[in-house]
Structure 1
């Protein structure tokens, strides 16, 4: 594998990771909307906590992808 091949692979991996992070943020928004609509307080709290955890994971993935692509 050449250095150029390695850079291309790294860029593709980073792009996939950024895309994953974006999709997780969409899922997070859905979780929070669902929580806001839930009549059950326990469910509402669980969904908000889950949404927050999804956001945390998305940010971590995006941060690692940024290290791969030099952002």
Structure 2
């Protein structure tokens, strides 16, 4: 009769911690880069005149809500 142990813990705690840290860091960088590019879009829209914004169906007060609408409830 053979016995097998399937729940060993040596060495895996550090590996799991490093993997979790890596996933968290990648998620942070992804969110940061998306927010950065969205802020560039906000700046570009804010640089437009009120007439140009009206042509796009926007008001100046709604720019941030428009840019981040799919990401945050503002």
Structure 1: runs of 5 or more not aligned:
57-71
Query: What TM-score results when the alignment is normalised by the length of structure 1?
Result: 0.57
In terms of fraction of residues, the more helix-rich structure is 1
Q: Which runs of 4+ in 1 moved over 6 A?
A: none
Partner of 1:43: 56
- Bigger Rg, structure 1 or 2: 2
RMSD between aligned alpha carbons? Answer: 3.0
Q: Which structure is richer in relative contact order (CA contacts within 8 A, separation 6 or more)?
A: 1
Structure 2: runs of 5 or more not aligned:
1-10
